[in-house]
Amino acid sequence: MPSTDKPIGVLFMAYGGPESLDEIPGYLSDIRHGRPTTTAVLDEITNNYRMIGGKSPIMGLTKEQIAGAMAHLNREADGDANPPGEPERFKAYLGMRHWAPWIEETVGQMLDDGIERAVAIVLAPHFSSMSIAKYQAKVKAGLELYRGDLDVAYVDAYFDADLLIEAFAARVREGIEQFPEDERDDVHVVLSAHSLPVRILKMGDPYQDQLWTTARLIAERAGLREDQWSWSYQSEGRSPEPWLGPQLEDHVPALQDERGVDKVVSLAIGFVSDHVEILFDIDIEAQKAAKERGMTLVRPPSLNDDPRFTRLLAELVEGRAAKAGWIESDVRAASAGEPSMPMPEGTAMPA
Ligand SMILES: C=CC1=C(C)c2cc3[nH]c(cc4nc(cc5[nH]c(cc1n2)c(C)c5CCC(=O)O)C(CCC(=O)O)=C4C)c(C)c3C=C
Ligand SMILES: [Fe+2]
Ligand SMILES: [Fe+2]
């Protein structure tokens, strides 16, 4: 029986990224499950990181997001910060899926610290057997490795959470406002997320439905016309099997060819912070595709430490801890997580 005076652990999990160019081969080896990476692919990916400053910013940004969420979680009921010396209700931990600090090692640290109950949340809003489920499997692997007994409550997804939709819709508006007022009606918004192999659809994976629900809710909240936005995948992997499309760098030129669009706001809604798939795949690759056509592409900032997003993280953690019966909370469910809605007809670009 857990003792109630111990803080509840909060395991924040993120993808991880190389802190220097030297770390790229090891990082890729983990992502590719040890399969060898050809020199050509290694050179290409190393060059992409060189072009975004020689490292991934994901670690620093993730720490900022955690600090923002923890400031909410450890506040007192009246909203003030916890006075010094008082025990905190929650204790934060960070584990990465593909690089240090590894999720398994962090779980070991939580056990060493005597944590008995923990909420585990991934900094990615959409569930897939190829993403969130893998993070959760690593938590279980850490518990087996260190033979620990830790009661873990998982937040599976938060694709329809109101604060997420509001934060992204605000980014859409910011992007549109970068165009002169008399041009804004002509601006087309492309919402995108990381591609996955097409086979996930046959597996009944909820990923695409959840993405499309998020996209539709954002478009509605931002007040976009049906013809003013479309869906695209991005950052498909380098493997021979088919990946979900269209890819952003193809979709942007197609918008001009097929719909006469030349002003685009591009917003990734499957990611919550900057990293190579934003800073290279959108800011350099998709931007190049747009410029070659004389199109203007604006990318509003990623959520990063947006206060709406950090508050959402805190509400999700608190809500999950309350659902587990560990705390009393009046936080309304931050995300219903109910079955998702299909894309409205004529809105989705065909894959
Ligand atoms: C929804 C799933 C995925 C998210 C989100 C995701 C984010 C993400 N990926 C990188 C960098 C790389 N990903 C790579 C391969 C790769 N990524 C996913 C899924 C998601 N990634 C898959 C299924 C794969 C293929 C793995 C395999 O077995 O081959 C790679 C390797 C090179 C490549 O294939 O392109 C890199 C690099 C970042 C930075 C990121 C952000 C959070
Ligand atoms: Fe990836
Ligand atoms: Fe990727």
Question: How does pLDDT run across 164-175, given as a tens digit for each residue?
Answer: 999 999 999 999
Q: Higher pLDDT residue, 129 or 2?
A: 129
* Ligand number, closest to the Cα atom of 130: 1
CA distances from 174 to 184, 216, 265, 299, 311 (A): 11, 18, 9, 9, 20
Q: What is the structure's pLDDT at 329?
A: 78
The answer on pLDDT for 344 being more than 70 is no
Annotation-wise, does 177 bind a ligand? no
Q: What is the structure's pLDDT at 88?
A: 87
- pLDDT level of residue 5 (50, 70, 90 thresholds): confident
Segment 294-309 mean pLDDT: 98
Q: What is the structure's pLDDT at 337?
A: 46
Strands in the chain per DSSP E:
8-14, 90-96, 117-122, 151-155, 188-194, 229-234, 263-268, 296-298
Identify any residues that bridge with 11 across adjacent strands, giving them in sequence order: 93, 120
* Burial (0-12, 13-18, 19+ Cβ within 10 Å), 269: buried
Decide whether any atom of ligand 1 lies within 6 Å of the 131 Cβ.
Answer: yes
Atom of ligand 1 at shortest range from CA of 128: 1
Decide whether any atom of ligand 1 lies within 6 Å of the 124 Cβ.
Answer: yes
CA distance 319 to 332: 7
Decide whether any atom of ligand 1 lies within 6 Å of the 239 Cβ.
Answer: yes
The answer on pLDDT for 303 being more than 90 is yes
Ligand 2 center–CA 31 separation, angstroms: 7
Q: What is the structure's pLDDT at 2?
A: 57
Segment 258-286 mean pLDDT: 98
Atom of ligand 1 at shortest range from CA of 15: 42
Give the residue whose CA is nearest to atom 42 of ligand 1.
Answer: 15
pLDDT tens digits, residue range 317-342?
999 999 999 998 766 555 544 434 44
The overall pTM is greater than 0.80? yes
Query: What percent of the chain clears pLDDT 90, i.e. is strictly above it?
Result: 87
pLDDT tens digits, residue range 56-115?
999 999 999 999 999 999 986 556 666 666 778 999 999 999 999 999 999 999 999 999
Q: State the Cα angle at 139 between 137 and 144, rounded to 5°.
A: 95
Q: What is the structure's pLDDT at 4?
A: 64
The answer on pLDDT for 192 being more than 80 is yes
